[in-house]
Chain A
């Protein structure tokens, strides 16, 4: 079965630096991959979606890459700020069809220190 690994349970970096989070999967390449932000006691908030035929996607200070050969996605936050501190989840599409199921990684808890 498909497995997702976010190989850093926690990441602590200095404000202003670039945070890089990793998401790896084990089996078939999904049609798309998503990144979400989750704050304590809250539901996830959608950030970015990248499809299997896209190498890179950007949104303001966020950048996501998708390497189907390595079976990996990288999520970057440039010029990080303390307000970026949260848990970041990657999620994979399970079927490739619209409104399909997605499965989540365990998340990386990012802390940005001033």
Chain B
């Protein structure tokens, strides 16, 4: 149980285009989802926290107009990287948590999406 999927697993796009990444909780309802980015050999950096039906809370230094997050349902959150640039190339990982998974403090992570901007 507590499986989180991401789509796509990898994407290559041209500079200036927008890319949407989906995060789904497959067997539980996720009241809260988190979005992280990870550069090579570095740790996960939290970008934003989203609760279903409300606006996302962004971490300091993360541009909310560039990284659009929508958490429209209890099983789906999306991250859209707008006007992507090569420096946005990274590994994007989502996680989800919910009281129904047995522990309110445990986050279940998706497999990640590798974004490469040319």
A-side residues, CB < 8 A to B, are 31-32, 34, 36, 41-46, 49, 89, 93, 98-107
Contacts and interface: CB of A to CB of B under 8 A. Distances in A.
Interface string B26-48: 00000110100000001111100
A101 B46 contact: yes
Interface string B76-118: 0000000000000001010101110001111111111010000
B105 A98 contact: yes
Indicate the member of A44, A89, A107 with the most B CB atoms within 10 Å.
A44
B46 A49 contact: no
Q: How large is the interface on B (under 10, 10 to 19, 20 to 34, 35 or more residues)?
A: 20 to 34
A89 B43 contact: yes
A46 B114 contact: no
B75 interface: no
B109 A45 contact: yes
A43 B110 contact: yes
A101 B112 contact: no
B43 A106 contact: yes
